[in-house]
Structure 1
């Protein structure tokens, strides 16, 4: 498991400071503007609010440093996903999606891509290794998969997709650029929901697309401008503020997740634990090669749905909530959404609580389960 370059975060935090003039605010400006002063020939950097915004620039600049890539932000993770589909797929193309990944991407493809002649094919995350990519236009992968946390080899998939002439797109929401760097491993495009750990405060929706190929980003930017799938300046400002504490939060969350996963594995009422950092996890060897840490999500399987619901509701330091990546530890029983996991499977998103205080409360509840 390679250590990520900590200078990336340092440069991200200072991405604006070199351009500051005396008296400028250190914090990014919140620019609430729909129109800009444009006398004569319109050659100014900002011309209309649907096209660009200085607050977007600040967030895209910071994320660009973090991804070491060009970045476009969107009002949600799904808007980012949609932009990639709409900009790079046409009638007759074949798209491969994970059958066990985030379900909304599949629903979007089935409801809006297939009727326009795009063939949508599904494959489990674990089967990407043996899948033939010949004839595909886009290979879309999510690892660890959400919610089952299965692992596939990004470098191998990227190499085989390139050989087949397909674009390789990776949803990196679960790991973030601090936990996994798909572009470094050969992915053409990364999409992510910044609603999760990058913002981290459960108060704003946001997503982004990152790529190191301008020819891939340009049609995505055009789609954003023409369709109007744009983020609000206030939301962009909130996410930029959250991003500045991201590394500190992520370090606490991922360190605690590793401790909890190990202790869950030893508890008598826990049937199984899914966490790529465990040596017993089927994806551990691949995770060691392609991740810089093992993330903030832990899958905990208890006896049944009742036990899972009790664990979530009885623990005072768990917020029963969908989504993940916030400062508060949260959890949900994913089978209630129709995901193909055990009825007692809990996706636990580890927050920023002190590690031992969190474990004492979770252990107390586990001890009380029969």
Structure 2
């Protein structure tokens, strides 16, 4: 296929390039855990834990988006765990975001600190300036979830290389369509494909991607030995989601920017963050490394009670955790492990018409007594 085509076009037509007359156009779900294997056990497929044709097709599709080899896992956290287990050993030091997805830190503290791995944390906005002396692995997340802080990835990658550290970037919020960490010098990207990549809130999946085969081999070996392989059916649903990824991301990003602009003019709304706003503290860095700014808007209302009422009475918000689905959702993140004020809301925009979502947001806030400034 022509190299001048976009990754999405190449993904959509990848299967068609190899079809023979009479082959199914849709990707088949190969549910078998066992494969015909007489005599010498060397074969394209041996056992379901070693690999699966459906899963491998989806890995190739993700690889087109990443411009790298991708390995699929049954969740984003399984992907993070695989990276840690594959590349950390007792005595190593890891630097992780202090304000990104908290379960990554919880995993390190619960299972890796007891193994003798030294864990350091750093705010996302300061990671590019962090002292990486003695650090084996850096895990950054930008934009961070839920606070939407941004890290200068190119600068961080240069510093990591100078220090001899590996750099992994959780790119879940942005997706490869809006940010390409590997192009900026990262060694790995990690994603919870549960979110926008699948896009319909109906599967768990995740992946690790890298352009260095030597770095990927331990990850693949750990998956095979640890058994953390994605099911063929979930891989198929992820495949279906990838076909509409560009359309969904474009609408969700447009919704987020419109909502952020609307919120910026409301009295009582504080702490508004969206990297796509020209007034956002992270916008200068974000616009250098992002082509779109993601579906999440974060902001604070005066109290936890008011925030809960906003979510409950908004006609187009599903009160739920997670993001990247077709429906808009929101929650008070204080109910989890995030260090945020009680009135802090993470609003994840879906693919509703922009005017509908923006109008409903303004009307709901107005009904709660908040007015345009």
Give the TM-score of the pair, scaled to structure 1. 0.97
Instruction: Give the 3 Å change call, closer, same or farther, for CA 278–366 of structure 1 in structure 2.
Output: same
Tell me the equivalent position of 2:99: 100
Instruction: Give the 3 Å change call, closer, same or farther, for CA 105–225 of structure 1 in structure 2.
Output: same
Q: Deviation at 1:22?
A: 1.3
Tell me the equivalent position of 2:207: 208
Query: Which runs of at least 4 in structure 1 moved beyond 6 Å after TM superposition?
Result: none
Asked whether the 8 Å contact 1:137–1:166 carries over to 2, the reply is yes
Give secondary structure in 1 for the equivalent of 2:54: helix
Tell me the equivalent position of 2:306: 307
* 1-structure distance, mates of 2:292, 2:125: 20
* 1-structure distance, mates of 2:182, 2:126: 21
* 2-structure distance, mates of 1:85, 1:338: 21
Tell me the equivalent position of 1:121: 120
Tell me the equivalent position of 1:157: 156
Runs of 5+ consecutive residues of structure 1 not aligned to the other structure: none
Matches within 5 A, 1:1-370: 7-370=6-369
* 2-structure distance, mates of 1:170, 1:271: 29
Q: Deviation at 1:338?
A: 3.1
Give secondary structure in 2 for the equivalent of 1:162: helix
* 1-structure distance, mates of 2:318, 2:24: 35
* 1-structure distance, mates of 2:182, 2:328: 29
* 1-structure distance, mates of 2:268, 2:310: 11
Give secondary structure in 1 for the equivalent of 2:140: strand
Asked whether the 8 Å contact 1:269–1:366 carries over to 2, the reply is no
Asked whether the 8 Å contact 1:94–1:121 carries over to 2, the reply is yes
Asked whether the 8 Å contact 1:269–1:369 carries over to 2, the reply is no
Asked whether the 8 Å contact 1:328–1:352 carries over to 2, the reply is yes
The farther-off stretch of 127-136 and 151-160 is 127-136
* 1-structure distance, mates of 2:282, 2:337: 24
Give secondary structure in 2 for the equivalent of 1:25: coil
- 1:265-297 CA-to-partner distances (Å, cap 9, x unmatched) read 012232231000111111000000000111111
* 1-structure distance, mates of 2:186, 2:333: 28
* 2-structure distance, mates of 1:265, 1:233: 44
* 2-structure distance, mates of 1:132, 1:41: 52
Asked whether the 8 Å contact 1:15–1:61 carries over to 2, the reply is no
Asked whether the 8 Å contact 2:128–2:159 carries over to 1, the reply is no
* 2-structure distance, mates of 1:186, 1:39: 45
* 2-structure distance, mates of 1:213, 1:367: 52
* 1-structure distance, mates of 2:158, 2:197: 28
RMSD (Å), alpha carbons: 1.0
* 1-structure distance, mates of 2:153, 2:5: 22
Give secondary structure in 1 for the equivalent of 2:100: coil
Give secondary structure in 2 for the equivalent of 1:97: strand
Asked whether the 8 Å contact 1:81–1:191 carries over to 2, the reply is yes
- 1:300-338 CA-to-partner distances (Å, cap 9, x unmatched) read 211111111111110111000001000000011111113
Asked whether the 8 Å contact 2:318–2:329 carries over to 1, the reply is yes
Aligned residue pairs total 366
- 1:13-57 CA-to-partner distances (Å, cap 9, x unmatched) read 112110111121111110101100011212321111110001111
Give secondary structure in 1 for the equivalent of 2:176: helix
* 2-structure distance, mates of 1:111, 1:286: 33
Runs of 5+ consecutive residues of structure 2 not aligned to the other structure: none
* 1-structure distance, mates of 2:327, 2:20: 37
Asked whether the 8 Å contact 1:15–1:65 carries over to 2, the reply is no
Give secondary structure in 2 for the equivalent of 1:235: helix
Q: Deviation at 1:6?
A: 6.6
* 1-structure distance, mates of 2:110, 2:164: 26
Asked whether the 8 Å contact 2:259–2:361 carries over to 1, the reply is no
Asked whether the 8 Å contact 1:269–1:302 carries over to 2, the reply is yes
* 2-structure distance, mates of 1:27, 1:223: 31
